[in-house]
């Protein structure tokens, strides 16, 4: 697959990954290499990665606990301290080998350690391949508020090897699919139809679909790297989705994966689109049917609505106290800065539940 060149870094695929990485390390004269993994990518992905790495530099492995609960400043403190203890310097390279938690947190640590060292993202989940590892958003959660602390700075390279997906659970695969569906809904109807028509994705189908999804995200980010307007469209489904994810984050049985929460958010925000932008109702019903077929339905009792809606206050698209949604005019065309009255938001949950 042809590498994708963005304005300031390249995204390599599959068999090209190791060649590109080894060449980059050779040409850069790094002082040493730090590989950040979580407890799962340590066992599932690190052995394969180390096999392909050709270097005589010292390699240190830093392992963090897996999961969203650990995407916080305490974990960063541990990683910063380890880097410091192991004498990482401005010429050290950080390689983030993992899902969105590792790439978001590792990117943030790299951007802030000694005011910034170079870092490479090697995404190992579907979600991080198509979304989290590209575009330069790095950060951590503050309590249950998602991505409240962070920085925008692009990685020096992204290596997408879909072989890593072989050990990923089907639930995590579905979570990643949600961001791909989002790319279709905001940018390309044909792509959405292709994705939602495939009931059992094979890894071969996936390679091309991942590539297309990365291209969509790259095109959007390049036109608006600092999220002044167009990049906000990538937040479709996220205003309500993030609030739902945050609300259930510590729930014993209802904790949702990021993509699962976004899938619900996309149904709710499609409903808002019908009411506010004239998005066709029959298409909204079809999107709801397709999405629920894949993700099932989560019971969201009426009593949870007020606290969920309250959490939308922390959405990063808000301006001067106004909650701004990204809504759809049609499939493939999103509109930013839309405001929805509370009654309509409540109705959107009825639409989801009925
Ligand atoms: P994750 O990193 O928690 O990974 C999901 C689970 O899969 C973890 O338990 C992980 O250990 C495990 N895992 C990873 N790779 C594996 C493999 N190859 N085999 C087996 N297990 C593996 O979560 P995620 O879904 O990858 O990412 C979600 C995060 O990404 C959220 O924090 C979200 O906010 C963030 N995100 C960021 C952006 C961005 O632009 N920066 C975009 C979307 C999402």
Which residue's CA is the closest to the ligand 1 atom numbered 30? Answer: 100
Closest ligand 1 atom to Cα of 135: 40
8 A C-beta contact, residue 182 and residue 262 = yes
Which residue's CA is the closest to the ligand 1 atom numbered 2? Answer: 99
Query: What is the average pLDDT value for the chain, to the nearest integer?
Result: 95
Residue 24, sorted as left (phi over 0), alpha (psi -120 to 50) or beta, turns out to be alpha
Q: Which of 46, 49, 70, 99 to mutate to test the pocket of ligand 1 (most atoms within 8 A of CB)?
A: 99
CATH topology of domain 4-167: Rossmann fold (3.40.50)
Which residue's CA is the closest to the ligand 1 atom numbered 38? Answer: 132
Integer Cα distance of 63 and 300 in angstroms: 35
pLDDT over 80 (residue 250)? no
Closest ligand 1 atom to Cα of 38: 11
pLDDT at position 302, please?
95
Tell me how far the alpha carbon of residue 125 lies from the centroid of ligand 1, in angstroms. Answer: 6
Integer Cα distance of 107 and 307 in angstroms: 31
Confidence of residue 181 (pLDDT cuts 50, 70, 90): very high
Closest ligand 1 atom to Cα of 147: 34
Tell me how far the alpha carbon of residue 277 lies from the centroid of ligand 1, in angstroms. Answer: 33
Q: Which of 100, 137, 145, 218 to mutate to test the pocket of ligand 1 (most atoms within 8 A of CB)?
A: 100
Tell me how far the alpha carbon of residue 352 lies from the centroid of ligand 1, in angstroms. Answer: 26
Higher model confidence: residue 316 or residue 154?
154
pLDDT over 80 (residue 247)? yes
Q: 97 has which bridge partners? A: 122
CA angle 105, 33, 152 (to 5 degrees): 30
8 A C-beta contact, residue 73 and residue 105 = no
What is the SS3 assignment for the chain?
A: CCCEECCCCEEEECCHHHHHHHHHHHHHCCCCEEEEEEHHHHHHCHHHHHHHCCCCCCEEEEEECCCHHHCCHHHHHHHHHHHHHCCCCCCCEEEEEECHHHHHHHHHHHHHHHHCCEEEEEECCHHHHHHHCCCCEEEEEECCEEEEEEEECCCCEEEECHHHHHHCCHHHHHHHHHHHHHHHHHHCHHHHHHHHHCCCCCHHHHHHHHHHHHHHHHHHHHHCCCCCCHHHHHHCCHHHHHHHHHHHCCCCCCCCCHHHHHHHHHHHHHHHHHHHHCCCHHHHHHHHHHHHHHHCCCCCCHHHHHHHHHHHHHCCCCECCECCEEEEEECCEEEEEECCCHHHHHHHHHHHHC
Sheet of 157-160: strands edge to edge? 4-5, 10-13, 157-160, 118-123, 93-98, 33-38, 59-64
pLDDT at position 228, please?
93
**254-310 pLDDT per residue, tens:** 899 999 999 999 999 999 999 999 999 999 999 999 999 999 999 999 999 999 999
**119-138 pLDDT per residue, tens:** 999 999 999 999 999 999 99
8 A C-beta contact, residue 155 and residue 133 = yes
pLDDT over 70 (residue 203)? no
Q: Which residues line ligand 1 (CB under 6 A)?
A: 38, 40-41, 44-45, 66-68, 71, 98-102, 104, 124-125, 127-128, 131-132, 135, 137, 146-147, 164, 167-168, 172, 175, 258
Closest ligand 1 atom to Cα of 137: 41
**311-332 pLDDT per residue, tens:** 998 888 888 889 999 999 999 9
pLDDT at position 328, please?
98
Tell me how far the alpha carbon of residue 46 lies from the centroid of ligand 1, in angstroms. Answer: 15
Tell me how far the alpha carbon of residue 235 lies from the centroid of ligand 1, in angstroms. Answer: 17
Classify burial at 110, counting beta carbons within 10 Å of its beta carbon; exposed 0-12, middle 13-18, buried 19 or more.
buried
Integer Cα distance of 62 and 111 in angstroms: 16
pLDDT over 70 (residue 199)? no
**92-102 pLDDT per residue, tens:** 999 999 999 99
| Domain 170-353 = CATH 1.20.1090.10 | yes
Closest ligand 1 atom to Cα of 141: 32
pLDDT at position 204, please?
76
Tell me how far the alpha carbon of residue 128 lies from the centroid of ligand 1, in angstroms. Answer: 6
pLDDT over 90 (residue 146)? no
Name the segment(s) of the chain with CATH classification 3.40.50.1970: 4-167
Name the segment(s) of the chain with CATH classification 1.20.1090.10: 170-353
Which residue's CA is the closest to the ligand 1 atom numbered 42? Answer: 132
């Amino acid at each position: 697959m042809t590498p994708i060149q963005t304005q300031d870094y390249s995204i390599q695929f599959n068999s090209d990954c190791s060649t590109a990485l080894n060449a980059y390390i050779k040409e850069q004269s790094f002082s040493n290499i730090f590989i950040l993994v979580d407890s799962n990518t340590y066992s599932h992905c690190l052995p394969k990665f180390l096999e392909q790495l050709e270097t005589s530099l010292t390699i240190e492995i830093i392992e963090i606990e897996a999961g969203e609960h650990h995407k916080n400043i305490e974990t960063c403190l541990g990683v910063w301290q380890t880097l410091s203890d192991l004498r990482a310097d401005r010429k050290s390279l950080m390689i983030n080998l993992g899902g969105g938690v590792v790439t978001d947190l590792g990117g943030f640590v790299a951007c802030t350690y000694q005011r910034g060292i170079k870092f490479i993202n090697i995404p190992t989940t579907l979600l991080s391949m198509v979304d989290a590892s590209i575009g330069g958003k790095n950060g951590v959660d503050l309590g249950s508020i998602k991505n409240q602390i962070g920085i925008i700075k692009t990685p020096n390279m992204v290596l997408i090897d879909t072989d890593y997906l072989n050990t990923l659970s089907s639930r995590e695969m579905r979570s990643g699919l949600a961001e791909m569906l989002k790319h279709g809904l905001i940018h390309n109807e044909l792509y959405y139809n292709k994705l939602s028509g495939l009931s059992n994705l094979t890894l071969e189908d996936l390679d091309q679909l991942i590539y297309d999804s990365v291209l969509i995200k790259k095109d959007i980010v390049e036109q608006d790297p600092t999220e002044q307007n167009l990049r906000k469209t990538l937040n479709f489904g996220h205003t309500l989705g993030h609030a739902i994810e945050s609300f259930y984050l510590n729930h014993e049985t209802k904790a949702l994966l990021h993509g699962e929460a976004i899938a619900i958010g996309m149904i709710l925000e499609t409903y808002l689109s019908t009411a506010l932008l004239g998005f066709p109702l029959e298409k909204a019903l079809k999107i709801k049917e397709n999405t629920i077929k894949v993700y099932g339905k989560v019971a969201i009792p009426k009593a949870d609505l007020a606290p969920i809606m309250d959490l939308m206050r922390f959405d990063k698209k808000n301006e001067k106290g106004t909650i701004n949604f990204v809504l759809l005019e049609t499939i493939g065309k999103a509109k930013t800065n839309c405001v929805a009255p509370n009654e309509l938001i409540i109705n959107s949950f009825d639409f989801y539940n009925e």
